[in-house]
Structure 1
Amino acid sequence: MLKNYFKIAWRNLIKNKVYSFINISGLSLGLACAMLIILYVKDEVSYDRFHEGGEHIYRIVSQNYNESGVPENKNSSTGFLQGPRFTENIPDIKEYVRIQNARRDVKIGAEVVSRDLFYADSNFFSMFTFPVLSGNPKTCLSEPFSVVISEELALKQFGTTNAVGKTMMFRDNEDFVPYTVTAVSQKSPQNSSIKFDMLLPLHVTEKDLANNFNWFNSFLNTFVSLRPGANVSLVNDKMQELYLAQTSETAKIIKEQYGNNRLPPKHFLQPFTDMHLNKELPAQNGLTDASNPTFSYVLSGIALFILLIACINFVNLTVARSVRRSQEIGIRKVVGGKRKQLILQFLGESFLLCFFAFAMAVLLVQLALPIFNGLANKQLALSFLFDAKLVLGYVTLFVITGLLAGFYPALVLSRYSPVDTLYSRFILSGKNYLQKSLVVLQFTLASLLIICTFVIYEQFNFLTTQELGYDDTDLVLLQKNNLTPDEFDTFKTRLASHGNILNVAGKNAGYWFTVAKVGADKQIDFANETVNQSYIPTLGIQLKEGRNFSEDHPSDATQSVLVNEAFVKEAGWNDPIGQTVDFWYNDEKYTVIGVVKDYHYESLGQTIRPQLFTMKPSYDLGMLYVKIAPGSATSSIANIEKVFRDMFPFDPYSYQFLEDQNYQSYEAEAKWKQIMLFSAILTIFISCIGLFGLSVLSAEKRTREIGIRKVLGASINNVVAILSKDFIKLVLVALLISIPVAWAIANKWLEYYPYRIQLGWQVFAIASLLVILIALSTISFQSIRAAMANPSDSLKTQ
């Protein structure tokens, strides 16, 4: 019996090759998409869970408050003291490990490269489970001039993982000092927030450990391991109590000296496994791969939508094709076939189709993984899918899909009498309210994704084409730490001899934020930039009033500042030129000589904040901006490199175009754009498969009507219009539902950006037109085929 069912199912698949392929491919696409997103979400939630005893590891963090007690930002960094002081005085804390990220120059032969690394306490490998391939994990970070490297770096540096005892040359001021490799560790796992190629010992002097001012520093990550059974809430209370007791006197001194009226921060513990998906306290300050949980939620929703649509289509196509088998069912019932047997046969065919769909889905996942890894910035492997819980989920999904697809047509077709089925005198599903509702649901989701994709595209284009307030084209960016004004002048003079070098400017590395007084009592926070006089003209920043720094005014270097419009607004000045900015804690006062127009010195994801420029000769520069002639990139870069290497042979050389750097600041938006585009394409494609299935069902049911209409003189266009209008109505209903929902979602998403597009009717009109055209194209294929059929054949069929 089972063999016979299988044989008939296989023959039906072979007989209807096109429909079988469409049915299987639609479901397999949905399953493959769901599997890929399951891989992504599984990887996201698995971060940092591989450490033995990881459930007892926490990071010391804090909540800041203003002078009124209103919570401000949360801080994931600490200074030297939190780890040892809390561990010494709170019995529930077993041990601590401090990790500080840094970048050091390493000499390899005659070449100098700059590499990222961590300074860590000697018990690093005691708290964290990073397997050590060679060397002693307990003592490898005990000696001052020791280094632990990854197996990947060992192979790259020495050509072997047997590198213990070998030396590496690290820059220490102007000299290179040998460090001994004391251990080689296994490569950090993909799902680890702590990824390292080099670890150096973190040594803190007794003087620093005794200095209570170090409670107020914030520059490294401090992790603690609690003893089993410890109450985290009680530990938090004890930490805060100890902090207040040990900082009370120092806090008074700081308040008197710097005028800091903020309330003390509140320290608490953050679970180690919470960092990766935490938006307020993410994996940062050297820790990597911080992620937004919204990605997982949205992707999971998309996966559910696509899988739901694929399953709906599978059911619709199965029902559509089952109409043609009514005579087979009638004959089976005449010769004694039981309803139970018919149901089993349909279910068997459904499960066979599902099996092929699942097999194809696994193949599609394997083929799509490299592309998906590029989109998601992951290193996922197909083997991640074969987790016991996931496999159980796939089996459940397989059973549910097979039952959904086979049970409905089996129940409907098997209940009719043999006479009705032999002569096809029955209506398969009445007015098909269920199927019509499912089509509306499908196209509502598809339209929603298409509209959101359009919005994301428009916002991304806006961010990457918006005027920044300065000219970032043909601007080469170089990093040179501790660059003195004299070195800058020499570098600029040597480059000036090359005709394609238009200008050179210098600025401090990164952005420094500080505070100063702009009146008797008022103080403001701002970005404090150290630049030279060529910085403003090189970047094409516009002056609103006043003047730029000038060699004609020697006092500019020590007495003058420029500010931006946001600074003026925050200070409340009507006439900014000549106003005083008081750095009272350094006994320095400066006079405002010019105001620059606001420009986006950060990404467009940030509002323009107050900014101040000085030319302090005591502050070294860290960044070089070289303006080159358009179309001269190759020769100009070669000249820049030659001069740089001649002047700074022991400094690592690398460059980047500022325009590219600005573009890279929108990587998250670019990722969303690609993910939403692929999701929209998949959703609309699978939805169209379902619509195609229903158009087949409609044409099958109305074959006699079509024949009669053609006999009475109806044209092909008339028949196509009759067959298509009901489906277009469903698509229009879907658009009416999706447009307001998409508008609300898009507006909510755009609120994240201080600078954003305005939602216009054009986005919704274009998306709606696209959906209607796609739906029409899908329906027309089967409608035209039915309309062109011979009327005599149509009348014989029914």
Structure 2
Amino acid sequence: MLKNYFKIAWRNILRNKMRSFIHILGLSIGVAICFLIFNVVTHSYSFDQFHPDKERIYRINTLTDWGDGGSFPNSGTPGPLGEVIQDEISGIEGKGRLYTMYETLVALPNTNKVFGRSNEVTFADPGFFKIFPRKWLAGNPETALIQPESLVISEESLHKYFPGSEASDVLGQELMFVDSDSIYAKVTGVVAGYTDNTDFIFNDFISYSTIRTEEQIEWFGLHDWTSVNSSSQLFVKLAQGVSPESVDEAFKPLIAKNMEAEENGEYNTSFFAEPLSEMHFTPNYGSTSVSKVFLKGLIFIGLIILVLAVLNFVNLETAQAIGRSKEVGIRKTIGGTRFQLITQFLAETFLIVIFSTILAMAFVEGIKLLFATYLPKNFTIDYFSPYNILFYAGFPVLISMISGIYPALILSNYDPQRALKGEMIRTGKFSVGVFLRKNLTVMQLSSSIAFIILVMVLNYQLNYVTSQPLGFDKEAVMFASLPFMSDPDKMLQLQDRFNQEAMVKSASLSGSLVSTTSLWTSDVMVPVDTTEKQLYIQVMNVDSAFVKVNGIPLLAGSDGIDRADEILVNEQFVKEAGFSSIEEAVGTEVSYSQEQVRIIGVVADFHSRTLREKIRPLLFTYNPTYFQSVNVKLNSDQNLAVAKERLEQIYLDIYPYETASFNFLDAQIDKFYREDVKIKNVLGFACGLAILISCLGLFGLSSFTIAQRTKEISIRKVLGATLQQILFLISREYMILVGVSFLIAVFPAYYFLNDWLNGFNTRVEMPYLIFAAAGLGVMAICLLIVGIHSYVASQTNPAKVLKSE
């Protein structure tokens, strides 16, 4: 019996090739999107799920609340908290500490072999490997990280630093790590690397006890409770039955005991336990993290595309139900039951879904290539994983039931006494089938209109912000990172070498770029009459050439900042400080960093952050020890590729062990809106798919419904109706549907866009003309499809159509 169901289903698919093509193409697009998103989501939730007792492991985070200034979560904790947490907080079974390092130079001192800079080096205490156990290839896990200058390396580092050596042979070997100082550490253990997805990217673990002198502790910011650095990470393993909420509550008296005297009521600090399962969705150690909001958006988009494809199927099947009335009538006459008929039609739907799933797998590979840069790093699809096998087994059945059950009920309920026109119940002139078809069409069209509005407004806003003047000259400016805590003499030597080049207009040194996502804040006390006014400000560390290199207009005074007791400020600083003019500000002494400093110049306001934020009061200070960037302004009409190569050659002459990489400032600024561009492009792709699916459904539906009205059209022609009258008559219904769809689409699109636009300090007003253009565009597409079918029908000879009447 089952074999017969599928045999008949196959014949029906072959008999109605256009209908089958529309169904398979539409459903395959929906299945492909859902399959890809399903794998992206399962990949994202698979990180660090292999650790023993993972549900009891938490990372302690810090939350600093500045009141109206906002609250700022930080994955780091003060150093003293890691010292006392297990003694002061009950219910903690174990603790593990990390202090992550950035761009650390690694070398073998006995051979002078340099391996370059690495972000995979960290300080770790013995408790870390107790919470996150690994397979030990050599060394004693109980003692490997106890003594200062001890080092545990991964199997990957073993092959990198000591190629061809066995794990036991490298114990006692010495490696040098250059950060703020040189650390000579001896290998005391070798561990196997993780094979599963993990956010712990580290391969070199230096014992935490290496940080032991007062100078080191203070340098790493581990000396007091007010120093919160994201590099200082604290993990805990809770005892059985202990909730993270109870731990969060226990932090309050600990904070009151140790931090009350430090805060002075200016801000509030709290600690909270973040589950290990959530770590992948917050900033961590590499580029592996992913936004949960973005993931949820992907899921939402995938469901919309799938729902559109299912609605397309239901709409077309119910509309064409009348074409199978004789088949159903004959089956019922010879004794077919309703259950058998439902099974037959569901088998046909299932076969279409199977073909769609097979085609979808080909689409998945194409979409992966198209959106490779949007997918997680090293993302691959294991088509035979248990999750995907479950998808293959369950998804087609689920979609078959959802998309096929209503058409099957319609067809199996056929009453031979009247023609079945896609209706289950008829009361007067009301048809449930027609009513449902119109509503399904409205849902499809409204989704398409909403997507078009979103994409067009996002594109409009992004074009607007990227075309706004930033207050500085970003053209032909290149930059590169300097080695951390580099010798100031070497930095000046590099700057001088750049200034000697004919292609270079000027070079400067700074702690950050002129516009960056990083933020250094502090406060300044400005004298006002007999009192002082406190300002919360942004700070940038620059040299005397910085203003010139970046083309920032100087409004008063001098830009030649070359002393620690001199500062430059911007216009916003002058306004908030209460000076009557910029000239009055020049020469004024203010208190900054517990020292008296003098304002020597005022620069024009410029956007030192993204255009999402307003311009802050800004202070330029001079501290060459902490310069981290070299900025080069090129002369006009330079060959940029040649200039880049020459700058990198000079850089390597001064820093032979570094990896020189110069980038363009304007390209870096464009990255500020990378997430917004990603959202726009994903929505644009979804928009294209929504329009394609809607057009496929509209094409099939209009083809069928106009075929049903061929006799009506012929009679109207015989009675003298013109082509324009016939086209208007048929198109009027679809124009009404598009109008209703537009009204439905406007509200969710406006809600999302208003919220998104409010995130920009510099934004466009809500562009209502784009809303209207999107509605008119969909109406034009709809009328084009319906018009073509109507025109073909109107050109048919009425004599052929009406010859049987």
TM range, smaller chain: 0.7 to 0.9
Structure-2 separation of matches of 1:488 and 1:212: 28
Q: CA separation of 1:205/1:721 partners in 2, compared to 1, >3 Å: closer, same or farther? A: same
| Post-superposition offset of 1:18 | 2.5
More moved, 132-141 vs 463-472: 132-141
Q: Quick check: 2:526–2:591 contact (8 Å CA) kept in 1?
A: no
| Post-superposition offset of 1:681 | 0.9
| Post-superposition offset of 1:228 | 0.9
Alignment partner, residue 496 of structure 2: 493
Alignment partner, residue 273 of structure 1: 277
Residue 577 in structure 1 maps to residue 576 in structure 2: no
| Post-superposition offset of 1:749 | 1.4
Tell me the alpha carbon deviations over residues 209-237 of structure 1, each in whole angstroms, 9 at most, x when there is no partner. Answer: 89995222222111111111224344334
| Post-superposition offset of 1:620 | 4.5
| Post-superposition offset of 1:144 | 4.1
| Post-superposition offset of 1:28 | 1.7
Q: Quick check: 2:568–2:599 contact (8 Å CA) kept in 1?
A: yes
Residue 127 in structure 1 maps to residue 131 in structure 2: yes
Alignment partner, residue 514 of structure 1: 522
| Post-superposition offset of 1:517 | 1.0
| Post-superposition offset of 1:695 | 0.8
3-state SS, counterpart of residue 76 of structure 2? coil
Alignment partner, residue 35 of structure 1: 35
Q: CA separation of 1:620/1:393 partners in 2, compared to 1, >3 Å: closer, same or farther? A: closer
More moved, 651-660 vs 126-135: 126-135
**Matched letter for residue 546 of structure 1:** G
Aligned residue pair count: 775
More moved, 309-318 vs 36-45: 36-45
Alignment partner, residue 402 of structure 1: 400
**What's the % identity of the aligned pairs?**
32
Q: CA separation of 1:403/1:37 partners in 2, compared to 1, >3 Å: closer, same or farther? A: same
Q: CA separation of 1:146/1:22 partners in 2, compared to 1, >3 Å: closer, same or farther? A: farther
Residue 115 in structure 1 maps to residue 115 in structure 2: no
User: 1:742-753 alignment to 2 at 5 Å?
Assistant: 742-753=749-760
Match of 1:565 among 566, 571, 577: 571
Q: CA separation of 1:497/1:266 partners in 2, compared to 1, >3 Å: closer, same or farther? A: closer
Q: Quick check: 2:520–2:538 contact (8 Å CA) kept in 1?
A: yes
3-state SS, counterpart of residue 469 of structure 1? coil
| Post-superposition offset of 1:356 | 2.0
Q: Quick check: 1:601–1:608 contact (8 Å CA) kept in 2?
A: yes
Q: Quick check: 1:212–1:246 contact (8 Å CA) kept in 2?
A: no
Q: CA separation of 1:332/1:716 partners in 2, compared to 1, >3 Å: closer, same or farther? A: farther
Q: CA separation of 1:788/1:129 partners in 2, compared to 1, >3 Å: closer, same or farther? A: farther
Tell me the alpha carbon deviations over residues 592-630 of structure 1, each in whole angstroms, 9 at most, x when there is no partner. Answer: 22211111122223332221113356x452211011134
Structure-1 separation of matches of 2:800 and 2:423: 17
3-state SS, counterpart of residue 468 of structure 1? coil
**Matched letter for residue 645 of structure 1:** L
| Post-superposition offset of 1:189 | 4.1
Structure-2 separation of matches of 1:189 and 1:703: 63
Q: CA separation of 1:307/1:159 partners in 2, compared to 1, >3 Å: closer, same or farther? A: farther
**Matched letter for residue 58 of structure 1:** Y
User: 1:309-708 alignment to 2 at 5 Å?
Assistant: 309-335=308-334, 337-383=336-382, 387=386, 398-418=396-416, 420=418, 432-481=434-483, 482-483=485-486, 486-509=489-512, 512-519=520-527, 520-549=531-560, 557-575=563-581, 576-578=584-586, 580-583=588-591, 586=594, 588-616=595-623, 619-629=625-635, 630-708=637-715
More moved, 430-439 vs 148-157: 148-157
| Post-superposition offset of 1:160 | 6.2
Structure-2 separation of matches of 1:787 and 1:152: 74
Structure-2 separation of matches of 1:52 and 1:138: 18
Structure-2 separation of matches of 1:291 and 1:40: 10
3-state SS, counterpart of residue 274 of structure 2? strand
More moved, 321-330 vs 159-168: 159-168
Q: Quick check: 1:152–1:187 contact (8 Å CA) kept in 2?
A: no
| Post-superposition offset of 1:120 | 1.7
Q: Quick check: 2:541–2:623 contact (8 Å CA) kept in 1?
A: yes
Structure-2 separation of matches of 1:583 and 1:236: 38
Structure-2 separation of matches of 1:80 and 1:710: 88
Q: CA separation of 1:147/1:791 partners in 2, compared to 1, >3 Å: closer, same or farther? A: farther
Residue 226 in structure 1 maps to residue 238 in structure 2: yes
Structure-1 separation of matches of 2:686 and 2:651: 47
Alignment partner, residue 709 of structure 1: 716
Match of 2:253 among 238, 241, 245: 241
| Post-superposition offset of 1:508 | 2.0
Tell me the alpha carbon deviations over residues 136-159 of structure 1, each in whole angstroms, 9 at most, x when there is no partner. Answer: 555544454454445555555556
3-state SS, counterpart of residue 502 of structure 2? coil
**Matched letter for residue 42 of structure 1:** T
Residue 215 in structure 1 maps to residue 221 in structure 2: no
Q: CA separation of 1:333/1:160 partners in 2, compared to 1, >3 Å: closer, same or farther? A: farther
Match of 2:731 among 724, 728, 738: 724
Tell me the alpha carbon deviations over residues 489-517 of structure 1, each in whole angstroms, 9 at most, x when there is no partner. Answer: 43333333321111111112465432221
Structure-2 separation of matches of 1:547 and 1:526: 21
Structure-2 separation of matches of 1:624 and 1:64: 32
Tell me the alpha carbon deviations over residues 552-591 of structure 1, each in whole angstroms, 9 at most, x when there is no partner. Answer: xxxx6244321012222332222342364533654x2122
More moved, 708-717 vs 473-482: 708-717
Q: CA separation of 1:537/1:240 partners in 2, compared to 1, >3 Å: closer, same or farther? A: same
| Post-superposition offset of 1:675 | 1.0
User: 1:192-207 alignment to 2 at 5 Å?
Assistant: 192-203=198-209, 204-205=211-212
Q: CA separation of 1:703/1:573 partners in 2, compared to 1, >3 Å: closer, same or farther? A: same
Alignment partner, residue 515 of structure 2: none
Q: Quick check: 2:328–2:414 contact (8 Å CA) kept in 1?
A: no
Q: CA separation of 1:131/1:449 partners in 2, compared to 1, >3 Å: closer, same or farther? A: farther
Structure-1 separation of matches of 2:155 and 2:722: 75
| Post-superposition offset of 1:431 | 6.9
Structure-2 separation of matches of 1:493 and 1:172: 25
| Post-superposition offset of 1:81 | 1.6
Q: Quick check: 2:325–2:414 contact (8 Å CA) kept in 1?
A: no
Alignment partner, residue 58 of structure 2: 58
Q: CA separation of 1:228/1:15 partners in 2, compared to 1, >3 Å: closer, same or farther? A: same
User: 1:7-22 alignment to 2 at 5 Å?
Assistant: 7-22=7-22
| Post-superposition offset of 1:301 | 2.1
Structure-2 separation of matches of 1:467 and 1:726: 49
Structure-1 separation of matches of 2:139 and 2:367: 40
Q: Quick check: 1:34–1:303 contact (8 Å CA) kept in 2?
A: yes
Q: CA separation of 1:476/1:184 partners in 2, compared to 1, >3 Å: closer, same or farther? A: farther
3-state SS, counterpart of residue 224 of structure 2? helix
Alignment partner, residue 95 of structure 2: 96
Structure-2 separation of matches of 1:427 and 1:247: 72
TM-score, structure 2 length as denominator? 0.87
| Post-superposition offset of 1:340 | 4.6
3-state SS, counterpart of residue 348 of structure 2? helix
Q: CA separation of 1:438/1:426 partners in 2, compared to 1, >3 Å: closer, same or farther? A: closer
Structure-2 separation of matches of 1:603 and 1:312: 42
More moved, 36-45 vs 673-682: 36-45
| Post-superposition offset of 1:105 | 1.1
Structure-2 separation of matches of 1:393 and 1:603: 42
More moved, 467-476 vs 774-783: 774-783
**Matched letter for residue 682 of structure 1:** L
**Matched letter for residue 400 of structure 2:** G
Structure 1 unaligned residues grouped into runs of 5+: 551-555
Tell me the alpha carbon deviations over residues 40-89 of structure 1, each in whole angstroms, 9 at most, x when there is no partner. Answer: 333344444332212212222333355x8998434432132212211123
| Post-superposition offset of 1:130 | 5.2
Structure-1 separation of matches of 2:68 and 2:604: 35
Structure-2 separation of matches of 1:733 and 1:172: 64
Q: Quick check: 1:167–1:179 contact (8 Å CA) kept in 2?
A: yes
